A and B are shown apart, each in its own frame.
Chain A
Amino acid sequence: MPRTSLAPLALLLCLCPAAGARADDGAPAVDIHALNQLEYSVNTDEGRNPAKPKEILEEWLDVDVRFERALIGFRYEAFQPHELRADSAREGIVQRYAAFDWENGSIRVGNFYEIFGRGLLFRSYEDRAIRIDSNMEGVLLTGRVARLAGKAFSGRIREVETDRRTDVLRGADLEGDVGGGARVGASYLILSSEAPGTAGAAEPRHEEVVGGRASFARDWFDASVEAGRINRLYIRPEDLIPTPSRPNPRTYDDLRGTGFYGSLGLYPLSGVAVTAEYKDYDEFRFQPVNSSGTDYNNPPALTRETSYTLLSRHPHILSPNDEKGFQVEAVVTPSPGTTITLNRSETNEQDGDLAFHEWFAEVRRPIGERVEAALVYDFIEDAESETKNRTPVIEIEYHPEGERSLRGEYQFQDTETARLGKSSTHFALVECHVNLDLTFSVVGEHAGFLDPVSREGAKDDFVYAQADYHLTPNHFLSVTVGKRRAGYICVGGICRFEPEFEGVEARFVTSF
């Protein structure tokens, strides 16, 4: 029998009336904060794809109880079906923590998230949109003395496939303000795992990561660099066996990785800003032993993030083991409300072959007092998927009196792929804000394909409507009805595939 999870809910029910309570006499009181997110969908197209689950339920409940400088909390999660296995469910309390902070430091025991620098060496985080949760379970200490700030932890990450936490990762980070706008920092991490099932490791696996960073900021420019090295202090049995592609057995030297990230920002004139970034990652993936968990590091991908649906479907997927490249972006604001953005990025493999490149241009400006318009053009070429996308977008928003607004968006994408031939996609969105609490939107998409072999055309249409409503100040409900196209949801080079959906989907969020 699974563990029951009614206990925390019962506790929550008991404590709710006290939420946010403060004693009237000014004495310290307990503050309780919670956030509950429930997503539930019913597919009505089972006949077309019997393998797809009819119902999907996802639930997150976070509860914090705070008393002065002390905090305890937990997270309850339910996934039906399981993220990886359609024939099972997962539910239970997945995070528990207690923390205490004082003027110059804090201690936290249980689950935590943390980042060193910009995440080149270590980042434990949650991004629910792409279903990433790389929380650690262990102990985290932070402290600050004069101009120095330090962090140290020891913890384990959850491996999604096995639902276990087998690796032990320990890390420390120190950053100092050296004056004159300059800061320097250094990090050290060591990973060890002696758990069974680690791909038949010949010896306990140890990986050591060391790195440093420096930044410098002035009013008109800033610069930062971050570099790291991974030493893999183990050799798998298969690494010792010669193969046709690798006639000589590997040595420890083969298993070292390096990573470098640098950025430069220039603000020479009022209303003008230029940013340049450079990356060089070679065998720099720092991942859990069973490789089913999220990586321990999260190096910047140098791809442009956008909220336009078609632009976020075919981006480059970051490969920290083999890529180097740059991204340059200029933003010009010639007058209030008018913005021109130009972006160019290119990523190559270590041997110089193109992996990905993109051109992006956006002009956004007001037209009179009540209309704002934006024009976007984007070209992406991704070598791995052998895809070229050309995407123009037009967006117009009209604001009549009060808090009402009407927004329209039209996106067109011309796609060329070596495997599937040519296709084109028309995407239109109309969104009506009645006020801050109520929004209606309708999205339509028409996709046309040309079969590269038969040269026959095919098409598919998708239409769905969505309503977002704040029932009360603490309750948010979003309902989607219709048919939505499959596609990737991508953030910063990490993507999650969202299958085609036809039916009803509801999202309910409560906070207090």
Chain B
Amino acid sequence: MTGRRAIRARAHHVAIGALVVLLVAGTIAAPAEQSPEEKPEDAAAKPESKGLSLGGKAPEFSLPDLDGKTVALSDRLKRGPVLIDFWALWCKPCLKSLPGTDALREKYAARGLSVLAINTDSPRTAAKVKAYVKSSKFGFEVLTDPNGAMQRLYRFYRIPQTFLIASDGTIAFSQLGYSPGSEERLAKEIEKVLPPEQGSKGE
């Protein structure tokens, strides 16, 4: 019994230790933070990270699209920045975010933005993914990750999770969750990594 108690106590202490260590560690590692005084609207002016670190190299991947053809991140980066949106059919906020994501694709495709909507549904619901995309008439590329490989690669824990990858392959912005209006945050960040619009004065 004493041994069991010792094991419990050790597990307890280790976990609490881990909590403290990671609080400190994450704070050190966090590249940009929002001060309490900042209004939510102000947050759009600063990039934020909720997964991999900003400025870090986005891990390379290649995944099949809905027709089985393989698409690689590096191939899309040759055209310009890439917006990666992780979603699933069971995730209601994800489904609400997709029309806005498609609108961003329409708006910025001519300036080189690629959108990869990566579906994370398990193989059990894989058959319904194309049906949903087709009925909703989305124009972005949909890739499939049925076994959680991308979740392990990009170390995110919830969806919807969005990463904006600059043309040089670095993570420029990431966002967890969806709320109506968050597309505006995303649009501002996309503008920062795109070349200036032709005819504009370089705003």
Contacts and interface: CB of A to CB of B under 8 A. Distances in A.
Given A34-B155, A91-B7, A305 B89 contact: yes
Interface of A: 1-2, 4-6, 9, 12-13, 16-17, 19-20, 22, 31, 33-38, 40, 55, 57, 59, 61-62, 64, 66, 76, 78-81, 87-91, 113-115, 117-119, 123, 125-127, 177, 181, 183, 215, 217, 222, 224, 263, 265, 267, 270-275, 277, 298, 300-301, 305-307, 329, 331-333, 336-337, 339, 372, 399, 401-405, 433, 435-437, 470, 472-476, 491-493, 508-512
12 contacts: A9-B14, A9-B21, A22-B55, A81-B8, A89-B7, A177-B69, A265-B134, A274-B131, A300-B124, A337-B99, A474-B50, A476-B176
Contacts of B199: none
B29 A405 contact: no
B67 A222 contact: yes
A249 to B, nearest CB: 37
A35 B10 contact: no
Contact of B12 (A80, A403, A476): A80
B68 A492 contact: no
A431 B103 CA distance: 27
A6 B4 contact: no
B49 A17 contact: no
Contacts of A436: 40, 175-179, 182
Given A33-B155, A61-B18, A273-B135, A403 B179 contact: yes
B48 interface: yes
A333 B146 CA distance: 25
B8 A89 contact: yes
A436 B41 CA distance: 11
Interface residues of B, number: 79
Nearest to B154: A33
Quick one: which of A2, A4, A17 has the most chain B CB within 10 A? A2
Quick one: which of B8, B32, B55, B59 has the most chain A CB within 10 A? B8
Contact of B157 (A114, A404, A511): A511
A22 B56 contact: yes
A22 B57 contact: yes
Contacts of B125: 305, 492
Contacts of B187: none
A158 to B, nearest CB: 17
A248 to B, nearest CB: 37
Nearest to B5: A89
Contacts of A37: 157
Interface in B163-197: 175-182
Contacts of B10: 2, 4, 89, 91
Given A12-B21, A88-B7, A403-B40, A113 B152 contact: yes
B136 interface: yes
A59 B18 contact: yes
Given A275-B128, A473-B34, A492-B122, A36 B147 contact: no
A53 B27 CA distance: 33
Given A31-B57, A435-B40, A510-B25, A113 B11 contact: no
Contacts of B24: 13, 16
A472 B52 contact: no
Contacts of A339: 135-136
Contact of B179 (A79, A267, A433): A433
Nearest to A91: B11
B66 interface: yes
B26 A474 contact: yes
B28 interface: yes
B123 interface: yes
Contacts of B18: 9, 36, 38, 59, 61, 76
Quick one: which of B69, B157, B178 has the most chain A CB within 10 A? B157
7 A-B pairs closest in CB distance: A20-B53, A273-B131, A512-B29, A16-B25, A492-B124, A118-B123, A20-B56
Quick one: which of B90, B156, B175 has the most chain A CB within 10 A? B90
Nearest to A20: B53
Nearest to A32: B29
Nearest to A113: B147
Nearest to A218: B67
